[in-house]
Structure 1
Amino acid sequence: MNTASSIPYAGIWPALLTPLDAKLDIDIPRFASHALRLLDAGCTGVTPFGTTGEGPSFSVAERMDALTGLVARGVPAGRILASTSCAALPDALALTRHAAEQGAWGCLLLPPFFLKGVSDQGVIDAYRWIIDGVADARLRIVLYHIPQVSGVGLSHHVIGTLKTLYPDTIVGLKDSGCRREDSLAYAEAFMPPMQVWVGNEPDLQTLAARGSAGAVSGIANVMPRLVQHLVKGSGEPAADQQRVLALLQILGGYGLTAAFKGMMALLDDAPGWMRVRPPLVPLDAAEYERLAAQLRAFGIDRGRD
Structure 2
Amino acid sequence: MFQGSMVAIITPFDAQGNFDEETYRQLVEFQIENGTDVIVPCGTTGESATLDYAEHDQVIKACIEQVNKRVPILAGTGSNATAEAIAISQHAKEMGADGVLLVAPYYNKPSQEGLYQNFKALAENVAIPQVLYNVPGRTGVNMTAETTIRLAEISNIVAIKEASGDVIQASEIIARAGDKINVISGDDFLTLPLMACGAKGVISVTANIMPKEVKSMVQAVQEMRWDDARKLHLQLLDVHQSMFLESNPVPVKTASALMGKCRIDMRLPLVEMQENTLEQLKTILKKHSLI
TM-score of the pair, normalised by structure 1: 0.85
Change beyond 3 A, Cα 1:149–1:286: closer
Query: Which of 104, 114, 117 in structure 2 is aligned with 1:111?
Result: 104
The yes-or-no answer on 1:129 pairing with 2:121 is yes
1:83-162 correspondence to structure 2 within 5 Å? 83-116=76-109, 118-134=110-126, 136=127, 139-162=128-151
Sort the Cα spacing of 1:255 and 1:152 in 2 relative to 1 into closer, same or farther, 3 A: closer
SS across alignment from 2:101: strand
Runs of 4+ in 1 over 4 A off after TM superposition: 284-290
Alignment correspondent of 1:258: 250
Please give the residue correspondences for 1:1-305 in structure 2 after superposition, counting only pairs within 5 Å: 8-76=1-69, 79-116=72-109, 118-134=110-126, 136=127, 139-164=128-153, 166-167=154-155, 169-233=156-220, 234=225, 236-268=228-260, 270=262, 272=263, 274-283=264-273, 288=278, 291-300=281-290
Residues 40, 76 of structure 2: 8 Å contact kept: yes
Contact 2:187 2:202 in 1 (8 A): no
CA contact (8 A) 2:145 2:169 kept: no
| Deviation at residue 285 of structure 1 after TM alignment | 6.7
1:283: how far off? Answer: 2.4
Q: C-alpha separation between the residues in 1 aligned to 2:87 and 2:71?
A: 19
Q: Identity over aligned residues, as a percent?
A: 25
* Separation in 1, partners of 2:95, 2:158: 19
Secondary structure of residue in 2 paired with 1:246: helix
User: Residue 5 of structure 1 aligns with which residue?
Assistant: none
After superposition, the C-alpha distances for 1:183-214 in whole angstroms (9 at most, x for unaligned) are 22222222123210111222212222223222
Give the Å deviation of 1:223: 1.2
Task: State the aligned residue count.
Answer: 286
CA contact (8 A) 2:6 2:204 kept: yes
SS of residue matched to 2:45: coil
Aligned AA (2:146): H
Root-mean-square deviation (Å) = 2.3
Cα distance in 1 for partners of 2:79, 2:132 equals 13
Letter in 2 for 1:205: L
Q: Which moved more, 1:259-268 or 1:244-253?
A: 244-253
Pair 1:36–1:285, CA change in 2 (3 A):
same
Aligned amino acid, residue 236 of structure 2: V
Mapped contact 1:77–1:102 kept (Cα < 8 A): no
Distance 1:248 1:161 in 2: 32
CA distance in 1, matches of 2:40, 2:234: 26
Structure 2 unmatched ranges of 5 or more: none
Distance in structure 1 (CA, Å) of the matches to 2:111 and 2:105: 12
Q: Distance in 1 between matches of 2:11 and 2:203?
A: 15
Residues 206 and 77 of structure 1: is their aligned pair in 2 closer, same or farther, counting only changes over 3 Å? Answer: same
Helix, strand or coil at the partner of 2:216: helix
Query: Structure 2 counterpart of 1:215, which letter?
Result: V
State the Cα deviation string for residues 38-83 of structure 1 (Å, max 9, x = none).
0121111100111111112212221112211222344438621001
| Corresponding letter in the other structure for 1:181 | I
Asked whether the equivalents of residues 43 and 76 of structure 2 are also in contact (C-alpha less than 8 Å), the reply is yes
- Sort the Cα spacing of 1:181 and 1:295 in 2 relative to 1 into closer, same or farther, 3 A: same
